[in-house]
Structure 1
Amino acid sequence: FAYYPYGDQEVRAEVEPAVSRASSTTCTETKTCPAPMYFLDDVYLGKYSNIPGIKAATTEEEDFGLDAYEPRFMQPLHIWKAEGEFSVKLRFDTADYTKDLFYFCQIHEFMGGRIKITRDGAPHSWIDNPSLGYEYDQPSEFDTECGTYGLANFQLPNSNCPDRFVCDKEDAPEGYRKFAQCIDAIDCHMISGMTTGSSAMSEDALFVHQMIPHHQNAVNMAKALLKTEKLECDDIRDQSNPECVLTELLYEIINNQNHQIQTMYDYLDAKRFPYEDDCVVEVETVP
Protein backbone atom coordinates (compact mmCIF):
# COMPACT_ATOMS: atom_id res chain seq x y z
CA PHE A 1 0.00 0.00 0.00
CA ALA A 2 1.12 3.57 -0.59
CA TYR A 3 0.15 7.20 -0.01
CA TYR A 4 0.58 8.03 -3.69
CA PRO A 5 0.13 6.13 -6.97
CA TYR A 6 3.04 3.83 -7.91
CA GLY A 7 4.25 3.53 -4.30
CA ASP A 8 8.02 3.26 -4.13
CA GLN A 9 8.43 3.49 -7.91
CA GLU A 10 8.18 7.28 -7.74
CA VAL A 11 8.67 8.46 -4.16
CA ARG A 12 9.30 6.78 -0.83
CA ALA A 13 5.71 6.82 0.34
CA GLU A 14 4.65 3.28 1.17
CA VAL A 15 2.28 2.74 4.10
CA GLU A 16 4.78 1.55 6.72
CA PRO A 17 5.26 1.89 10.51
CA ALA A 18 7.85 4.69 10.10
CA VAL A 19 6.16 6.53 7.21
CA SER A 20 3.30 9.01 7.45
CA ARG A 21 1.74 11.77 5.41
CA ALA A 22 -0.45 13.10 8.21
CA SER A 23 0.05 16.73 9.20
CA SER A 24 0.50 16.20 12.94
CA THR A 25 1.92 12.94 14.23
CA THR A 26 4.99 11.58 15.97
CA CYS A 27 4.37 8.02 14.80
CA THR A 28 7.37 8.13 12.46
CA GLU A 29 9.66 8.47 15.49
CA THR A 30 8.11 5.55 17.39
CA LYS A 31 7.35 3.42 14.32
CA THR A 32 3.67 3.30 15.21
CA CYS A 33 2.18 4.71 12.00
CA PRO A 34 -0.60 2.70 10.35
CA ALA A 35 0.71 -0.20 8.27
CA PRO A 36 -0.78 -3.31 6.67
CA MET A 37 -0.41 -6.60 8.53
CA TYR A 38 0.08 -9.68 6.35
CA PHE A 39 -1.29 -13.14 7.14
CA LEU A 40 -1.07 -16.71 5.88
CA ASP A 41 -3.93 -18.95 7.02
CA ASP A 42 -4.81 -16.38 9.70
CA VAL A 43 -1.27 -16.57 11.13
CA TYR A 44 0.34 -13.12 11.32
CA LEU A 45 3.74 -13.08 9.61
CA GLY A 46 5.18 -9.94 11.24
CA LYS A 47 5.97 -8.33 14.61
CA TYR A 48 4.56 -4.78 14.30
CA SER A 49 0.93 -4.27 15.31
CA ASN A 50 -1.61 -1.50 15.68
CA ILE A 51 -4.54 -3.92 15.98
CA PRO A 52 -4.66 -4.96 19.66
CA GLY A 53 -7.27 -7.62 18.95
CA ILE A 54 -4.67 -9.51 16.93
CA LYS A 55 -1.45 -8.62 18.75
CA ALA A 56 -0.58 -6.09 21.42
CA ALA A 57 0.25 -2.69 19.91
CA THR A 58 3.98 -2.24 19.38
CA THR A 59 6.60 0.48 19.22
CA GLU A 60 9.95 0.43 17.43
CA GLU A 61 8.89 -2.49 15.24
CA GLU A 62 9.05 -2.25 11.44
CA ASP A 63 8.39 -5.87 10.46
CA PHE A 64 4.76 -5.98 9.33
CA GLY A 65 5.03 -9.32 7.54
CA LEU A 66 5.59 -8.20 3.96
CA ASP A 67 9.11 -9.64 3.73
CA ALA A 68 7.77 -13.10 4.59
CA TYR A 69 4.63 -12.67 2.47
CA GLU A 70 5.75 -11.17 -0.82
CA PRO A 71 8.52 -13.64 -1.88
CA ARG A 72 6.04 -16.52 -1.87
CA PHE A 73 4.40 -15.06 -4.97
CA MET A 74 7.62 -15.46 -6.94
CA GLN A 75 6.90 -19.19 -6.94
CA PRO A 76 4.72 -20.86 -9.60
CA LEU A 77 1.01 -20.23 -9.06
CA HIS A 78 0.13 -23.83 -8.12
CA ILE A 79 2.84 -23.85 -5.43
CA TRP A 80 1.89 -20.65 -3.61
CA LYS A 81 -1.81 -21.49 -3.90
CA ALA A 82 -1.06 -24.73 -2.05
CA GLU A 83 0.49 -22.84 0.86
CA GLY A 84 -2.86 -21.61 2.15
CA GLU A 85 -5.04 -18.50 2.23
CA PHE A 86 -3.25 -15.17 2.01
CA SER A 87 -4.80 -12.01 3.50
CA VAL A 88 -3.96 -8.54 4.75
CA LYS A 89 -5.50 -6.29 7.39
CA LEU A 90 -5.04 -2.53 7.68
CA ARG A 91 -6.27 -0.36 10.55
CA PHE A 92 -5.77 3.25 9.54
CA ASP A 93 -6.15 5.18 12.78
CA THR A 94 -4.53 8.50 11.82
CA ALA A 95 -7.55 10.79 12.13
CA ASP A 96 -6.09 13.89 10.45
CA TYR A 97 -5.19 12.11 7.20
CA THR A 98 -8.23 12.46 4.93
CA LYS A 99 -6.77 11.60 1.53
CA ASP A 100 -6.86 8.24 -0.23
CA LEU A 101 -4.41 5.36 -0.24
CA PHE A 102 -3.31 3.19 -3.16
CA TYR A 103 -2.48 -0.42 -3.74
CA PHE A 104 0.23 -1.09 -6.30
CA CYS A 105 2.57 -3.68 -7.78
CA GLN A 106 6.31 -3.12 -7.45
CA ILE A 107 7.16 -4.81 -10.74
CA HIS A 108 4.21 -3.86 -13.00
CA GLU A 109 3.86 -0.13 -13.58
CA PHE A 110 0.30 1.29 -13.54
CA MET A 111 -1.02 -1.94 -11.98
CA GLY A 112 -2.80 -0.56 -8.95
CA GLY A 113 -5.81 1.34 -7.76
CA ARG A 114 -7.35 3.70 -5.25
CA ILE A 115 -8.38 2.84 -1.69
CA LYS A 116 -11.01 4.90 0.10
CA ILE A 117 -10.47 5.10 3.86
CA THR A 118 -13.76 4.73 5.71
CA ARG A 119 -15.00 5.56 9.18
CA ASP A 120 -18.33 4.12 10.35
CA GLY A 121 -18.98 2.91 6.82
CA ALA A 122 -18.51 6.28 5.11
CA PRO A 123 -15.42 7.48 3.20
CA HIS A 124 -13.27 10.20 4.79
CA SER A 125 -13.60 12.01 1.47
CA TRP A 126 -15.57 11.47 -1.71
CA ILE A 127 -12.96 13.49 -3.62
CA ASP A 128 -10.25 11.49 -5.38
CA ASN A 129 -7.16 12.93 -3.73
CA PRO A 130 -4.27 12.62 -4.55
CA SER A 131 -4.99 12.55 -8.26
CA LEU A 132 -4.07 9.42 -10.15
CA GLY A 133 -1.97 11.37 -12.65
CA TYR A 134 -3.26 9.53 -15.69
CA GLU A 135 -6.50 8.23 -17.19
CA TYR A 136 -7.44 4.58 -17.10
CA ASP A 137 -7.16 2.89 -20.50
CA GLN A 138 -10.51 2.08 -22.05
CA PRO A 139 -10.56 -1.04 -24.25
CA SER A 140 -12.48 -0.87 -27.51
CA GLU A 141 -15.63 -2.93 -28.03
CA PHE A 142 -13.59 -5.42 -30.06
CA ASP A 143 -10.94 -5.70 -27.33
CA THR A 144 -13.62 -6.15 -24.69
CA GLU A 145 -15.02 -9.10 -26.63
CA CYS A 146 -11.55 -10.60 -27.10
CA GLY A 147 -10.16 -9.84 -23.63
CA THR A 148 -7.28 -7.93 -25.21
CA TYR A 149 -6.02 -4.36 -25.59
CA GLY A 150 -4.99 -2.17 -28.51
CA LEU A 151 -6.36 -4.26 -31.37
CA ALA A 152 -9.25 -2.16 -32.68
CA ASN A 153 -7.23 -0.82 -35.62
CA PHE A 154 -5.77 -4.20 -36.54
CA GLN A 155 -8.87 -6.16 -37.43
CA LEU A 156 -8.70 -7.74 -40.86
CA PRO A 157 -8.70 -6.66 -43.61
CA ASN A 158 -5.69 -4.44 -42.96
CA SER A 159 -3.27 -3.19 -45.61
CA ASN A 160 -0.27 -4.05 -43.42
CA CYS A 161 -1.28 -7.69 -43.03
CA PRO A 162 -2.25 -10.74 -45.08
CA ASP A 163 -5.96 -11.40 -45.43
CA ARG A 164 -5.88 -14.19 -42.84
CA PHE A 165 -3.69 -15.78 -40.19
CA VAL A 166 -6.12 -18.56 -39.24
CA CYS A 167 -7.29 -20.66 -42.18
CA ASP A 168 -10.43 -22.76 -42.68
CA LYS A 169 -12.38 -21.06 -39.89
CA GLU A 170 -15.47 -20.22 -41.95
CA ASP A 171 -17.33 -23.46 -41.13
CA ALA A 172 -16.18 -23.67 -37.51
CA PRO A 173 -18.50 -23.17 -34.50
CA GLU A 174 -19.27 -19.53 -33.67
CA GLY A 175 -17.13 -19.44 -30.53
CA TYR A 176 -14.10 -20.72 -32.42
CA ARG A 177 -14.66 -18.24 -35.27
CA LYS A 178 -14.78 -15.32 -32.84
CA PHE A 179 -11.58 -16.48 -31.14
CA ALA A 180 -9.91 -16.90 -34.53
CA GLN A 181 -10.89 -13.33 -35.45
CA CYS A 182 -9.21 -12.18 -32.24
CA ILE A 183 -6.08 -14.16 -33.16
CA ASP A 184 -6.10 -12.60 -36.64
CA ALA A 185 -6.09 -9.11 -35.09
CA ILE A 186 -3.47 -10.08 -32.49
CA ASP A 187 -1.13 -11.34 -35.20
CA CYS A 188 -1.79 -8.34 -37.44
CA HIS A 189 -0.87 -6.06 -34.53
CA MET A 190 2.41 -7.94 -34.10
CA ILE A 191 3.26 -7.97 -37.81
CA SER A 192 2.59 -4.23 -38.02
CA GLY A 193 4.72 -3.60 -34.94
CA MET A 194 7.60 -5.74 -36.18
CA THR A 195 8.07 -3.73 -39.36
CA THR A 196 10.57 -1.32 -37.86
CA GLY A 197 12.83 1.44 -39.07
CA SER A 198 16.54 1.88 -38.50
CA SER A 199 16.67 5.44 -37.19
CA ALA A 200 18.82 4.47 -34.19
CA MET A 201 21.23 2.40 -36.32
CA SER A 202 21.77 0.27 -33.23
CA GLU A 203 21.47 -3.50 -32.88
CA ASP A 204 20.10 -3.33 -29.34
CA ALA A 205 17.46 -0.77 -30.31
CA LEU A 206 16.38 -2.94 -33.24
CA PHE A 207 16.14 -5.96 -30.95
CA VAL A 208 13.93 -4.11 -28.46
CA HIS A 209 11.73 -2.51 -31.12
CA GLN A 210 11.15 -5.98 -32.58
CA MET A 211 10.72 -7.79 -29.27
CA ILE A 212 8.12 -5.51 -27.67
CA PRO A 213 5.33 -6.28 -30.20
CA HIS A 214 6.38 -9.94 -30.08
CA HIS A 215 5.79 -9.96 -26.31
CA GLN A 216 2.57 -7.97 -26.65
CA ASN A 217 1.38 -10.68 -29.03
CA ALA A 218 1.98 -13.37 -26.41
CA VAL A 219 0.22 -11.37 -23.68
CA ASN A 220 -2.82 -10.61 -25.82
CA MET A 221 -3.03 -14.21 -27.02
CA ALA A 222 -2.92 -15.55 -23.46
CA LYS A 223 -5.59 -13.09 -22.32
CA ALA A 224 -7.78 -13.97 -25.30
CA LEU A 225 -7.69 -17.69 -24.51
CA LEU A 226 -8.52 -17.02 -20.85
CA LYS A 227 -11.45 -14.86 -22.00
CA THR A 228 -13.01 -17.83 -23.82
CA GLU A 229 -13.33 -19.72 -20.51
CA LYS A 230 -12.77 -22.93 -22.49
CA LEU A 231 -10.14 -24.32 -20.15
CA GLU A 232 -11.65 -26.45 -17.38
CA CYS A 233 -9.56 -26.09 -14.25
CA ASP A 234 -11.37 -26.14 -10.92
CA ASP A 235 -8.17 -26.22 -8.86
CA ILE A 236 -4.97 -24.72 -10.26
CA ARG A 237 -3.00 -26.92 -7.86
CA ASP A 238 -4.05 -30.02 -9.83
CA GLN A 239 -1.00 -30.44 -12.03
CA SER A 240 -2.34 -33.77 -13.33
CA ASN A 241 -4.94 -31.76 -15.26
CA PRO A 242 -3.29 -30.48 -18.47
CA GLU A 243 -5.80 -27.63 -18.68
CA CYS A 244 -4.66 -26.42 -15.24
CA VAL A 245 -1.06 -26.58 -16.44
CA LEU A 246 -1.96 -24.49 -19.48
CA THR A 247 -3.99 -22.03 -17.38
CA GLU A 248 -0.99 -21.46 -15.13
CA LEU A 249 1.22 -20.99 -18.19
CA LEU A 250 -1.14 -18.29 -19.52
CA TYR A 251 -0.93 -16.31 -16.27
CA GLU A 252 2.86 -16.67 -16.29
CA ILE A 253 3.01 -15.30 -19.85
CA ILE A 254 0.87 -12.30 -18.89
CA ASN A 255 2.85 -11.47 -15.75
CA ASN A 256 6.38 -12.24 -16.93
CA GLN A 257 6.20 -10.80 -20.42
CA ASN A 258 4.40 -7.64 -19.29
CA HIS A 259 7.26 -7.07 -16.86
CA GLN A 260 9.78 -7.71 -19.64
CA ILE A 261 7.96 -5.23 -21.91
CA GLN A 262 8.24 -2.62 -19.15
CA THR A 263 11.95 -3.40 -18.76
CA MET A 264 12.50 -2.95 -22.50
CA TYR A 265 10.70 0.40 -22.55
CA ASP A 266 12.90 1.48 -19.62
CA TYR A 267 15.95 0.44 -21.66
CA LEU A 268 14.84 2.56 -24.61
CA ASP A 269 14.38 5.51 -22.27
CA ALA A 270 17.76 5.01 -20.58
CA LYS A 271 19.58 4.83 -23.93
CA ARG A 272 17.54 7.73 -25.38
CA PHE A 273 16.27 5.58 -28.21
CA PRO A 274 12.86 6.39 -29.74
CA TYR A 275 9.90 4.80 -27.97
CA GLU A 276 8.97 3.11 -31.24
CA ASP A 277 10.41 3.13 -34.74
CA ASP A 278 7.64 2.00 -37.03
CA CYS A 279 7.79 1.75 -40.78
CA VAL A 280 4.80 0.92 -42.95
CA VAL A 281 5.10 -2.15 -45.15
CA GLU A 282 1.95 -2.86 -47.09
CA VAL A 283 1.17 -6.49 -47.80
CA GLU A 284 -0.16 -7.44 -51.19
CA THR A 285 -2.43 -10.43 -50.85
CA VAL A 286 -2.11 -12.99 -53.61
CA PRO A 287 -5.49 -14.55 -54.54
Structure 2
Amino acid sequence: MPLQDHPFVSYTNTAWAKLIARAEGEYTALAAPPALDVSSPVALAAIIDHTHLTPGSPPSAIGQLVNEAVIGEFGAVCIYPERIPLALSLLSSPSPILHRPKIATVISFPAGTKMTAEKVADGQAALAAGAQELDVVLNRRPLQEGEYAAVYAELAAVRAGCSGVLKLILETSRLSAHEIIAATVLATTAGWEFVKTSTGFHGPGARVEDVRVMRRVGQWMVKWMGEEGFSRGVLQVKASGGIKTVGDARAMVEAGATRIGASAGVGILKEAKGDTAKTRVEEGGY
Protein backbone atom coordinates (compact mmCIF):
# COMPACT_ATOMS: atom_id res chain seq x y z
CA MET A 1 0.00 0.00 0.00
CA PRO A 2 1.52 3.38 -0.96
CA LEU A 3 2.20 5.63 2.02
CA GLN A 4 -0.11 8.38 0.76
CA ASP A 5 -2.99 5.88 0.62
CA HIS A 6 -2.59 4.76 4.23
CA PRO A 7 -5.09 6.04 6.82
CA PHE A 8 -2.20 7.60 8.80
CA VAL A 9 -2.74 10.78 6.79
CA SER A 10 -6.19 11.22 8.34
CA TYR A 11 -5.23 10.29 11.91
CA THR A 12 -6.29 12.79 14.56
CA ASN A 13 -4.24 13.55 17.66
CA THR A 14 -6.55 11.17 19.54
CA ALA A 15 -5.93 8.35 17.06
CA TRP A 16 -2.19 8.91 17.27
CA ALA A 17 -2.33 8.94 21.06
CA LYS A 18 -4.09 5.56 21.05
CA LEU A 19 -1.50 4.04 18.70
CA ILE A 20 1.38 5.47 20.72
CA ALA A 21 -0.14 4.11 23.94
CA ARG A 22 -0.52 0.69 22.36
CA ALA A 23 3.10 0.69 21.19
CA GLU A 24 4.22 1.75 24.66
CA GLY A 25 2.26 -1.06 26.26
CA GLU A 26 3.23 -3.85 23.88
CA TYR A 27 6.73 -3.29 22.48
CA THR A 28 8.54 -4.99 25.35
CA ALA A 29 6.76 -8.28 24.60
CA LEU A 30 8.82 -8.73 21.44
CA ALA A 31 12.23 -10.37 21.62
CA ALA A 32 15.01 -7.86 21.09
CA PRO A 33 16.41 -7.98 17.55
CA PRO A 34 19.96 -9.35 17.22
CA ALA A 35 22.72 -6.77 17.44
CA LEU A 36 25.13 -6.14 14.59
CA ASP A 37 28.48 -7.89 14.82
CA VAL A 38 31.04 -5.10 15.16
CA SER A 39 33.73 -7.19 16.81
CA SER A 40 36.19 -6.35 14.03
CA PRO A 41 37.55 -2.82 13.50
CA VAL A 42 36.48 -2.96 9.84
CA ALA A 43 32.87 -3.77 10.74
CA LEU A 44 32.81 -1.03 13.36
CA ALA A 45 34.25 1.59 11.00
CA ALA A 46 31.61 0.76 8.39
CA ILE A 47 28.76 1.95 10.63
CA ILE A 48 30.43 5.18 11.82
CA ASP A 49 29.35 8.55 10.46
CA HIS A 50 32.62 10.46 10.93
CA THR A 51 31.36 13.86 11.99
CA HIS A 52 32.52 17.47 11.95
CA LEU A 53 29.87 19.98 12.98
CA THR A 54 31.93 22.70 14.64
CA PRO A 55 30.52 26.04 13.44
CA GLY A 56 32.98 28.24 11.57
CA SER A 57 35.68 25.62 11.19
CA PRO A 58 38.18 26.15 8.33
CA PRO A 59 38.16 24.17 5.08
CA SER A 60 41.26 22.32 6.27
CA ALA A 61 39.13 20.67 8.97
CA ILE A 62 36.88 19.17 6.31
CA GLY A 63 39.93 18.05 4.37
CA GLN A 64 41.20 16.27 7.47
CA LEU A 65 37.79 14.70 8.10
CA VAL A 66 37.47 13.36 4.56
CA ASN A 67 41.03 12.04 4.58
CA GLU A 68 40.40 10.27 7.88
CA ALA A 69 37.18 8.77 6.54
CA VAL A 70 38.90 7.45 3.42
CA ILE A 71 41.82 5.96 5.34
CA GLY A 72 39.66 4.60 8.16
CA GLU A 73 36.98 3.30 5.77
CA PHE A 74 34.19 4.98 7.71
CA GLY A 75 30.68 4.57 6.36
CA ALA A 76 30.01 8.28 5.92
CA VAL A 77 31.10 11.79 6.75
CA CYS A 78 28.54 14.07 8.40
CA ILE A 79 29.02 17.77 7.68
CA TYR A 80 27.14 21.04 7.31
CA PRO A 81 25.38 21.51 3.95
CA GLU A 82 27.71 24.30 2.85
CA ARG A 83 30.65 21.90 3.13
CA ILE A 84 29.20 19.34 0.70
CA PRO A 85 30.90 20.76 -2.46
CA LEU A 86 34.29 20.75 -0.73
CA ALA A 87 33.87 17.18 0.46
CA LEU A 88 32.78 16.06 -3.00
CA SER A 89 35.75 17.75 -4.63
CA LEU A 90 38.11 15.99 -2.23
CA LEU A 91 36.47 12.66 -3.01
CA SER A 92 36.70 13.32 -6.77
CA SER A 93 40.48 13.34 -6.82
CA PRO A 94 42.02 12.03 -10.05
CA SER A 95 44.24 9.76 -7.97
CA PRO A 96 42.72 6.37 -7.06
CA ILE A 97 40.58 6.34 -3.91
CA LEU A 98 39.97 2.86 -2.56
CA HIS A 99 37.12 3.90 -0.28
CA ARG A 100 34.53 6.63 -0.80
CA PRO A 101 32.40 7.36 2.26
CA LYS A 102 28.84 8.53 1.79
CA ILE A 103 28.02 12.16 2.49
CA ALA A 104 25.50 12.92 5.22
CA THR A 105 24.41 16.40 6.21
CA VAL A 106 22.22 18.08 8.80
CA ILE A 107 18.97 19.99 8.29
CA SER A 108 17.45 22.54 10.70
CA PHE A 109 20.41 21.90 12.96
CA PRO A 110 20.60 21.97 15.92
CA ALA A 111 17.27 23.52 17.01
CA GLY A 112 14.84 21.82 14.61
CA THR A 113 12.56 24.85 14.50
CA LYS A 114 12.62 25.74 10.80
CA MET A 115 9.28 25.68 9.02
CA THR A 116 8.37 22.50 7.17
CA ALA A 117 8.76 24.12 3.75
CA GLU A 118 12.27 25.28 4.70
CA LYS A 119 13.24 21.80 5.85
CA VAL A 120 12.03 20.34 2.56
CA ALA A 121 13.80 23.01 0.49
CA ASP A 122 17.03 22.67 2.46
CA GLY A 123 16.89 18.89 2.14
CA GLN A 124 16.31 19.06 -1.60
CA ALA A 125 19.18 21.53 -2.01
CA ALA A 126 21.53 19.31 -0.01
CA LEU A 127 20.60 16.26 -2.08
CA ALA A 128 21.10 18.23 -5.30
CA ALA A 129 24.53 19.28 -4.02
CA GLY A 130 25.53 15.65 -3.54
CA ALA A 131 24.40 14.55 -0.08
CA GLN A 132 23.04 11.02 0.17
CA GLU A 133 21.70 11.11 3.72
CA LEU A 134 19.84 13.82 5.64
CA ASP A 135 19.92 14.07 9.44
CA VAL A 136 16.91 16.28 10.20
CA VAL A 137 16.22 17.72 13.65
CA LEU A 138 12.76 17.15 15.10
CA ASN A 139 10.75 20.17 16.19
CA ARG A 140 10.16 18.95 19.73
CA ARG A 141 7.56 21.48 20.87
CA PRO A 142 4.52 20.13 18.98
CA LEU A 143 5.47 16.59 19.98
CA GLN A 144 5.62 17.57 23.64
CA GLU A 145 2.28 19.36 23.34
CA GLY A 146 0.61 16.24 21.95
CA GLU A 147 0.18 17.70 18.46
CA TYR A 148 0.99 14.36 16.87
CA ALA A 149 -0.90 15.01 13.63
CA ALA A 150 1.19 18.13 13.03
CA VAL A 151 4.42 16.24 13.68
CA TYR A 152 3.38 13.46 11.32
CA ALA A 153 2.39 15.99 8.64
CA GLU A 154 5.86 17.53 8.75
CA LEU A 155 7.65 14.18 8.66
CA ALA A 156 5.48 12.98 5.79
CA ALA A 157 6.12 16.21 3.86
CA VAL A 158 9.89 15.88 4.24
CA ARG A 159 9.68 12.22 3.23
CA ALA A 160 7.60 13.08 0.16
CA GLY A 161 9.92 15.90 -0.86
CA CYS A 162 13.30 14.33 -0.20
CA SER A 163 14.76 11.12 -1.56
CA GLY A 164 17.74 9.46 0.06
CA VAL A 165 18.13 8.21 3.61
CA LEU A 166 16.30 10.24 6.27
CA LYS A 167 17.31 10.25 9.93
CA LEU A 168 15.16 12.02 12.50
CA ILE A 169 17.20 13.56 15.33
CA LEU A 170 15.07 13.41 18.47
CA GLU A 171 17.33 15.06 21.08
CA THR A 172 16.45 12.28 23.49
CA SER A 173 17.94 13.99 26.54
CA ARG A 174 15.21 16.62 26.18
CA LEU A 175 12.37 14.08 25.86
CA SER A 176 10.57 11.77 28.25
CA ALA A 177 10.44 8.03 27.57
CA HIS A 178 6.83 8.46 26.38
CA GLU A 179 7.88 11.22 23.97
CA ILE A 180 10.74 9.11 22.59
CA ILE A 181 8.25 6.32 21.90
CA ALA A 182 5.85 8.79 20.26
CA ALA A 183 8.55 10.21 17.99
CA THR A 184 9.64 6.71 16.99
CA VAL A 185 6.07 5.74 16.12
CA LEU A 186 5.64 8.86 13.99
CA ALA A 187 8.96 8.46 12.18
CA THR A 188 8.19 4.85 11.35
CA THR A 189 4.76 5.59 9.94
CA ALA A 190 6.13 8.50 7.90
CA GLY A 191 8.61 6.19 6.19
CA TRP A 192 11.90 7.47 7.63
CA GLU A 193 14.83 5.06 7.68
CA PHE A 194 16.35 6.09 11.02
CA VAL A 195 15.64 7.69 14.33
CA LYS A 196 18.70 9.30 15.88
CA THR A 197 19.42 10.19 19.49
CA SER A 198 21.07 13.59 19.59
CA THR A 199 22.61 16.63 17.96
CA GLY A 200 25.47 16.50 20.44
CA PHE A 201 24.84 20.14 21.35
CA HIS A 202 22.19 19.72 24.07
CA GLY A 203 22.42 17.48 27.10
CA PRO A 204 24.34 14.26 27.67
CA GLY A 205 23.80 12.78 24.19
CA ALA A 206 23.18 9.12 23.48
CA ARG A 207 22.02 6.83 26.27
CA VAL A 208 21.90 3.05 26.02
CA GLU A 209 18.36 2.76 27.36
CA ASP A 210 17.02 5.31 24.87
CA VAL A 211 18.62 3.42 21.99
CA ARG A 212 17.10 0.17 23.24
CA VAL A 213 13.62 1.73 23.41
CA MET A 214 13.89 3.32 19.96
CA ARG A 215 15.01 0.07 18.35
CA ARG A 216 12.36 -2.10 19.96
CA VAL A 217 9.51 0.34 19.37
CA GLY A 218 10.57 0.52 15.73
CA GLN A 219 10.50 -3.27 15.61
CA TRP A 220 6.99 -3.34 17.09
CA MET A 221 5.80 -0.72 14.62
CA VAL A 222 7.03 -2.71 11.62
CA LYS A 223 5.09 -5.71 12.92
CA TRP A 224 1.96 -3.62 13.49
CA MET A 225 2.18 -1.96 10.09
CA GLY A 226 2.47 -5.36 8.45
CA GLU A 227 -0.72 -6.41 10.18
CA GLU A 228 -2.33 -3.25 8.78
CA GLY A 229 -1.31 -4.21 5.24
CA PHE A 230 1.56 -1.75 4.89
CA SER A 231 5.06 -3.19 4.64
CA ARG A 232 8.24 -1.28 5.36
CA GLY A 233 11.83 -2.06 6.27
CA VAL A 234 13.10 -2.23 9.81
CA LEU A 235 13.52 1.18 11.40
CA GLN A 236 17.18 1.72 12.25
CA VAL A 237 18.74 3.70 15.09
CA LYS A 238 21.69 6.08 14.93
CA ALA A 239 23.35 6.73 18.28
CA SER A 240 25.20 10.04 18.48
CA GLY A 241 26.35 12.48 21.10
CA GLY A 242 29.11 11.76 23.60
CA ILE A 243 30.36 8.54 22.00
CA LYS A 244 34.11 8.72 22.57
CA THR A 245 35.40 5.16 23.03
CA VAL A 246 35.08 1.75 21.45
CA GLY A 247 33.25 0.66 24.60
CA ASP A 248 30.73 3.47 24.15
CA ALA A 249 30.16 2.51 20.51
CA ARG A 250 29.78 -1.20 21.12
CA ALA A 251 27.39 -0.61 24.03
CA MET A 252 25.15 1.39 21.69
CA VAL A 253 25.29 -1.34 19.05
CA GLU A 254 24.46 -3.99 21.63
CA ALA A 255 21.41 -1.91 22.59
CA GLY A 256 20.26 -1.85 18.97
CA ALA A 257 22.07 0.97 17.18
CA THR A 258 22.95 0.27 13.56
CA ARG A 259 24.82 3.52 13.01
CA ILE A 260 27.15 5.57 15.20
CA GLY A 261 27.66 9.32 14.83
CA ALA A 262 30.91 10.55 16.34
CA SER A 263 33.61 13.14 15.90
CA ALA A 264 35.93 10.75 17.76
CA GLY A 265 35.81 8.13 15.01
CA VAL A 266 39.57 7.98 14.54
CA GLY A 267 40.14 7.45 18.25
CA ILE A 268 37.42 4.81 18.42
CA LEU A 269 38.95 2.94 15.49
CA LYS A 270 42.46 3.16 16.92
CA GLU A 271 41.21 1.79 20.22
CA ALA A 272 39.44 -1.04 18.40
CA LYS A 273 42.77 -1.89 16.79
CA GLY A 274 44.58 -1.72 20.12
CA ASP A 275 46.19 1.70 19.62
CA THR A 276 45.19 4.11 22.38
CA ALA A 277 47.22 7.12 21.23
CA LYS A 278 45.39 10.42 21.81
CA THR A 279 43.44 11.74 18.82
CA ARG A 280 41.26 14.73 17.95
CA VAL A 281 37.86 15.01 19.63
CA GLU A 282 35.60 17.69 18.21
CA GLU A 283 34.02 20.38 20.35
CA GLY A 284 30.27 20.26 20.85
CA GLY A 285 29.97 16.83 22.42
CA TYR A 286 29.50 14.97 19.16
Per the normalisation by structure 1, the TM-score is 0.24
- Computing the radius of gyration over CA atoms, which structure comes out larger, 1 or 2? 1
Higher relative CO (Cα under 8 Å, sequence separation at least 6) belongs to 2
| Greater percentage in helix | 2
Tell me which protein shows more strand as a share of its residues. 2
